[in-house]
Chain A
Amino acid sequence: MVSGAEMLSVAAFLEGRYAQAFPSFGSERMGAPVMAFCRIDNKEIRLREPVLAPDALIIQDPTLLHQVDLFNGVPKRGFILINSTRSFAEMGLGGFALGVQQYRMCTVPATDLALKHVGRAVPNVPMLGGFAAITGVITLSSLVAAIRQKFPAAVAEKNVAAATEAFEIASRAKEMIDA
């Protein structure tokens, strides 16, 4: 999770932008809900408060949907990406996306893609591929470069493959989401 925010910030940096990524400083134990934040701007970022109104929300563990008020602060037309093999209708969120807030929502089977390409349930990189496709805030090539900075070559290429497939899946969904 924290690495995901880090790689997102590196991708933005590689595009010449300012970025700030930081963890939520939560409990240091396995299994605890963890948040990480990333701000991207064209000027230096001075603000140090946690992100309270995210333009985009990436949910890596959909089981949190029923435990925490995850969408709190997401503005109208905000982007929401959920790691799931299921559609919104199947998750019971069918009418939600079209509701008052008109969120631009997309599911990405990120854990499956990670298992397929990387061999481990590490969904953060494919989620970033989905994020790049849906939001256009960073390009896939910047993300790929950030992944290659983060990991040793062999592991990096597996993650690049996962991110690229996630990007393609989310790109196919983009037209419907933007509508």
Chain B
Amino acid sequence: MLKQTEGSRAVAEAIALCRPQVICAYPITPQTHIVEGLGEMVKGGELVNCEFINVESEFAAMSVAIGASAAGVRTYTATSSQGLLFMAEAVYNAAGLGLPIVMTIGNRAIGAPINIWNDHSDSMSMRDAGWIQLYAETNQEALDLHIQAFRLAEELSCPVMVCVDGFILTHAYERVDVPTQEQVDVFLPPYEPRQILDPADPVSIGALVGPEAFTEVRYLAHHKQLRALGLIPHLAAEFKKQFGRGSGGLIRSYRTEDAETIVVALGSLNGTVQEVVDEMRARGSLIGSVSICSFRPFPLAASREALMHAKRVVVLEKCLAVGLGGIVSDGVRKSLSGIVLNGYTVIAGLGGRAITRGSLTRLFEDAERDELEQVTFLDLNADVISYELERESKARRTGPTAEAILRRIGTVASGIG
């Protein structure tokens, strides 16, 4: 059924259609509306056979999710930013134990300085925790990916994070097609656990594993993700067949057929990138873009196939590997091993800075002329940087950096730009 609704509400409705049996969560912006919506559905009797557990922290949320999933029930939680960091130890444990929990990340920056707005620092910090990570481009895809995520998680016994850009998607009202319960039931059969804590048939889950077997357990986790490289496109194709629309998959190419310049991005940024690609194509540029939906497992072969004929690749990243540059770029460059082309990393949209068509157009035109640095910070305010560096070079006790910059800019309320 088509409706105009908030991204968080669309995700909540998707989760409800997946018939979760335990939902536990701790509120944190910008994810809060999702679990609030689910809480209302459980309380109002719309979502039956589901226990909604209010927990005291994100660490508890993931710990309860682990317990519930180990007891053999379909389990869901959601978080953002510092919340994900606070649950980090349990995040690794959920994957290490092979528990098919699905978690939404309402993507948000990580402090300090404290910032509630969107970037990918939170989910990227957990990229090697053993979870599959899928990034949604639109609210429709966010909804669809959750339905695919439970199927994927349960077939592999591997937890899945669905990453949804905070505010940009979670708080945006747009058109979504919400499937029927019958449709979802056909796609997503009841959960059949591979392991279950059952008093009638006791097992121990979570053994101490020493050097004699730790590598093998880890290898099998890696192997599981490599299997996901086959399963993710298979599920996307099956989903398309049943629901009539394309969502998910490993990567998606846009107008790359003869492209000399290809832009790579994750999540909601792709829509704006595609608009700019169209405008530049209309002016004769040979430019296209690639949206990476599955960041873990990283689709090395698909990425290579999509990018190998380009002259240059621009990777737009909403996260900074401090002291290195890009995180997504690492995977992209690895996928292009042995192929000579120009690779550029662009750090953009940190802490919610708007990524505009104007800035992207200038950036891509610079890329076409190969006039980009290896690592570029989009719309970096060079005056502020040089002022602050100069100030710090002249005195010892210069005080906190962030506050000094805010004074310099004269910000009275947080802007969007």
Closest to A10 in B: B4
A18 within 8 A of B: yes
Q: How long is the Cα–Cα vector from A50 to B357 in the complex, in angstroms?
A: 10
B67 within 8 A of A: no
Chain A 32-74 against B: per-residue CB contact (8 Å), 1 yes, 0 no? 1101000000000111111010000000000000000000000
Q: How long is the Cα–Cα vector from A100 to B376 in the complex, in angstroms?
A: 39
Q: How large is the interface on A (under 10, 10 to 19, 20 to 34, 35 or more residues)?
A: 20 to 34
The one of A25, A33, A52 in contact with B171, judged by C-beta atoms closer than 8 angstroms, is A25
Q: Which of A9, A13, A46 has the most CB of B within 10 A?
A: A46
Across the interface, do B4 and A48 meet the contact criterion of CB distance under 8 Å?
no
The one of B268, B270, B413 in contact with A26, judged by C-beta atoms closer than 8 angstroms, is B413
CB distance from A134 to the nearest CB of B (A): 22
Across the interface, do A49 and B413 meet the contact criterion of CB distance under 8 Å?
no
Across the interface, do B272 and A47 meet the contact criterion of CB distance under 8 Å?
yes
The one of B172, B174, B414 in contact with A27, judged by C-beta atoms closer than 8 angstroms, is B414
B356 within 8 A of A: yes
Q: Which of B118, B171, B173, B413 has the most CB of A within 10 A?
A: B173
A169 within 8 A of B: no
Across the interface, do B416 and A25 meet the contact criterion of CB distance under 8 Å?
yes
Q: How long is the Cα–Cα vector from A44 to B95 in the complex, in angstroms?
A: 37
Closest to A8 in B: B173
Chain B 240-269 against A: per-residue CB contact (8 Å), 1 yes, 0 no? 000000000000000000000000000011
Give the residues from 98 to 126 in chain B that come closer than 8 angstroms, CB to CB, to chain A: 116-118
Across the interface, do A5 and B416 meet the contact criterion of CB distance under 8 Å?
no
B354 within 8 A of A: yes
A78 within 8 A of B: no
Across the interface, do A9 and B275 meet the contact criterion of CB distance under 8 Å?
no
B271 within 8 A of A: yes
Task: Report B-chain residues with C-beta under 8 Å of the C-beta of A21.
Answer: 172-174
Across the interface, do A25 and B352 meet the contact criterion of CB distance under 8 Å?
yes
Q: Which residues of B contact A (CB under 8 A)?
A: 3-4, 6, 29, 116-118, 167-168, 171-175, 268-272, 274-275, 352, 354-357, 413-414, 416
Q: Which residues of A contact B (CB under 8 A)?
A: 2, 5-6, 9-10, 13-14, 18-28, 32-33, 35, 45-50, 52
A-B contact pairs, 28 of them (CB 8 A): A9-B173, A9-B174, A13-B3, A13-B4, A13-B175, A18-B174, A18-B175, A19-B174, A19-B175, A22-B167, A25-B117, A25-B167, A25-B352, A25-B416, A26-B413, A26-B416, A27-B414, A28-B116, A32-B413, A33-B413, A45-B271, A46-B272, A46-B274, A46-B275, A48-B268, A49-B354, A49-B357, A52-B356
